Amino acid sequence: MKNLSYSFIFSSLLALTAIGSGCKKDWLSPAPENTLIQTDSTFLDANNAEKFVHSCYNWTTQWGQHVFSWIGMSSITSDDADKGSDPGDLGADKDQMDALSYGPTSLSVLEVWEANYTGIGRCNQAIDNVPKFIDAGLDASLANRLVGEAKFLRAYFYFNLVRCYGDIPKIARVYTGEEAAQIYEDYSNTPRAEIYALIEQDLKDASAVLPLKSQYATKDVGRATKGAADALLAKVYLYQSKWNECLTACNDVINSGEYELESDFSLIWRQSHENGAESIFEIEGQNGAEGWGIGGYFVTQGARGPVTGGYNGWGFNTPTDDLEAAFEADDVRKAATMYYVGQTLWDGAVVESASNSKYNYKAYASQSQEANYDSWWSGKNIRIMRLGEVLLMKAEAANEQGNSGDAIAALNQIRNRAGLGNTTASSQSDLREAIRQERRVEMAMEHDRFFDLVRTGRAGTVLRAHGKNFVDGKHEVFPIPQKHIDLSAGKLKQNSGY
């Protein structure tokens, strides 16, 4: 049959490369346009099925997905982080992220959009193609698991997009050559409620077929699990104020017996504790024989100055004075969240001098005590979801339903681990503020603060008080990249205010 490949259509429209991007395997190269394909040998070997899903995981380590632009949009925009670095080093547009002066042509806005849609394209390919290998001998249960992993990752990519941009295109399948016009029709603003519905269904499907964390073999550590699907589903419900559904999903994770709080908060971000007791999902930095996976995440946030016994860095995304002041006096999390010039770090390294007074300790990579290829290519993981966040989501959902007992119990688990006493809050309104405060210091520098402020309706008040020019009705979402409005021939409409 005639087959105009999905990656050809999608890359033509989005200026992206779908599944063939960055892959060394010739079998992933799409056929030329309008080529008649008699037999595709790819589907004769069941071992190839897993490679479709590997390409989805591989994309999570890429520069545009979790590194500089994502740091700018998810962290530097908030009151947790300043641009950092030298005043004259703008990091392409990180000064715009800090000042909320970005626009439709800002690089970060474009890169985050394109990265997540490329990830979605890879997931669509996996979801569509993996079942085809059953005829080649692929075990049906393994096929279901692999599709579940791809659906989890597609949901994750879409969640990033919908909370960044609002109403976005819904591209949830592979298009054939006969549907070239349809993809242009679909590349328009889909209401966010419909995007959330897709995300929810993907995560429910994933939860139904994915193993528990403990059920994976050692070689498969880091793959998406049932707990990861349930935790992300809880977060998706949280963003929509679906409190009962959020509470149920949180309890599914907590009651699974698969996770427990790390007793020492500072160890969560050490390589020695990757995929540890508290971990629910991480971006894997070590990729076996293929080498180091994550380039630039840690060095872009490292101290900008001489570091004896350690790596220096670019100095971006530095903790603010406001965040520093948010920690209570005895909170052990402060020392695990930021480090200072002149301080001897956990591995013996010392920041002798630097452009900024403090840096993000959660993004510190040790030169002497952790496995890194060099300062750029790190073998460390990026933490995405952990039990600490699930407990805070449970506290918030329970409190909004008027269940103060469960809210206080979950909140106190977090506070006690931090070395603090039980909360003194008891009324629903006081508990709401206590939970918000606890979420800020527990999750500081973990790429959620800006979105938390938006979803709770506090972004304008908080960020204007912090000196940022937040415009209500505009800055709740980022602009749609102008490049893609142009590529859509105007079908894709710009967000209000841009």
Do residues 297 and 284 make contact, with C-beta atoms less than 8 angstroms apart? no
- The pLDDT of residue 14 is 43
What average pLDDT does this structure show over 222-227? 97
Is residue 10's pLDDT more than 60?
Answer: no
Domain boundary among the residues 321, 346, 373 is at 373
For 487, other C-beta atoms within 10 Å of its C-beta total: 17
pTM over 0.75: yes
Q: Is residue 470 domain-shared with residue 368, that is, in the same domain?
A: no
- The pLDDT of residue 20 is 34
Confidence at 216, pLDDT banded by 50, 70, 90:
very high
Of 200, 193, 263, nearest in space to 235 by CA? 200
pLDDT, tens digit, 9 for 90 and up, residues 327-378: 999 999 999 999 999 999 999 999 999 999 999 999 999 999 998 888 898 8
Of 79, 203, 183, 113, nearest in space to 452 by CA? 79
Q: What angle do CA 442, 448, 452 make, to 5 degrees?
A: 95
Phi-psi category of residue 214: left, alpha or beta, with phi > 0 → left and psi -120 to 50 → alpha: alpha
Half-sphere exposure of 415 (CA within 13 A, CB side): 20
Give a yes or no: residue 286 inside a domain.
no
Q: Is residue 473 domain-shared with residue 356, that is, in the same domain?
A: no
Confidence at 180, pLDDT banded by 50, 70, 90:
confident
- The pLDDT of residue 33 is 60
Q: Is residue 312 domain-shared with residue 189, that is, in the same domain?
A: no
Of 56, 282, 100, nearest in space to 108 by CA? 100
What average pLDDT does this structure show over 280-290? 77
Is residue 11's pLDDT more than 50?
Answer: no
- The pLDDT of residue 254 is 98
Q: How far apart are CA 449 and CA 297, in angstroms?
A: 18
Is residue 28's pLDDT more than 80?
Answer: no
CA 152 to chain centre: 12
* Structural domain count, the chain: 2
What average pLDDT does this structure show over 41-67? 94
Q: How far apart are CA 132 and CA 124, in angstroms?
A: 14
Q: How far apart are CA 390 and CA 253, in angstroms?
A: 8
- The pLDDT of residue 311 is 96
What average pLDDT does this structure show over 490-494? 95
Confidence at 184, pLDDT banded by 50, 70, 90:
confident
Of 338, 442, 433, 451, nearest in space to 390 by CA? 442
Question: Bridge-partner residues for 318, per DSSP?
Answer: 82
- The pLDDT of residue 25 is 45
Give a yes or no: residue 58 inside a domain.
yes
Mean pLDDT of the chain: 92
Per cent of the chain over pLDDT 90 is: 85
- The pLDDT of residue 183 is 84
Task: Return the C-alpha torsion angle 487, 490, 491, 492, nearest 10.
Answer: 70
Segments forming the whole domain that contains residue 302: 298-373
Give a yes or no: residue 265 inside a domain.
no
Per cent of the chain over pLDDT 70 is: 91
Is residue 2's pLDDT more than 60?
Answer: no
Domain boundary among the residues 373, 407, 428 is at 373
- The pLDDT of residue 87 is 97
When mean pLDDT is compared across 22-26, 190-194, 323-327, 398-402, the lowest value belongs to 22-26
Confidence at 386, pLDDT banded by 50, 70, 90:
very high
Task: Tell how strand 358-360 and strand 307-308 pair up.
Answer: unpaired
- The pLDDT of residue 372 is 85
Q: How far apart are CA 98 and CA 427, in angstroms?
A: 35
CATH code for the domain of 65:
1.25.40.890
Is residue 23's pLDDT more than 70?
Answer: no
What average pLDDT does this structure show over 82-102? 98
Q: Is residue 364 domain-shared with residue 461, that is, in the same domain?
A: no
Q: Is residue 28 domain-shared with residue 159, that is, in the same domain?
A: yes
Give a yes or no: residue 36 inside a domain.
yes
Is residue 27's pLDDT more than 50?
Answer: no
Residue 128, both tokens: 């569509």
What average pLDDT does this structure show over 295-322? 97
Phi-psi category of residue 157: left, alpha or beta, with phi > 0 → left and psi -120 to 50 → alpha: alpha
Do residues 286 and 303 make contact, with C-beta atoms less than 8 angstroms apart? no
Give a yes or no: residue 244 inside a domain.
no
Q: Is residue 336 domain-shared with residue 470, that is, in the same domain?
A: no
Give a yes or no: residue 96 inside a domain.
yes
Give a yes or no: residue 378 inside a domain.
no
When mean pLDDT is compared across 146-160, 169-183, 313-327, 444-458, the lowest value belongs to 169-183
Confidence at 179, pLDDT banded by 50, 70, 90:
confident
Do residues 492 and 187 make contact, with C-beta atoms less than 8 angstroms apart? yes
Residues 6+ positions from 181 with CB-CB distance below 8 Å: none
Confidence at 18, pLDDT banded by 50, 70, 90:
very low
Is residue 424's pLDDT more than 80?
Answer: yes
Give a yes or no: residue 275 inside a domain.
no
Confidence at 99, pLDDT banded by 50, 70, 90:
very high
For 242, other C-beta atoms within 10 Å of its C-beta total: 17
Q: What angle do CA 319, 323, 326 make, to 5 degrees?
A: 155
Distances (CA, A) of 300 to 342, 378, 389: 20, 12, 25
What average pLDDT does this structure show over 418-440? 98
Domain boundary among the residues 373, 402, 433 is at 373
Q: Is residue 198 domain-shared with residue 320, that is, in the same domain?
A: no
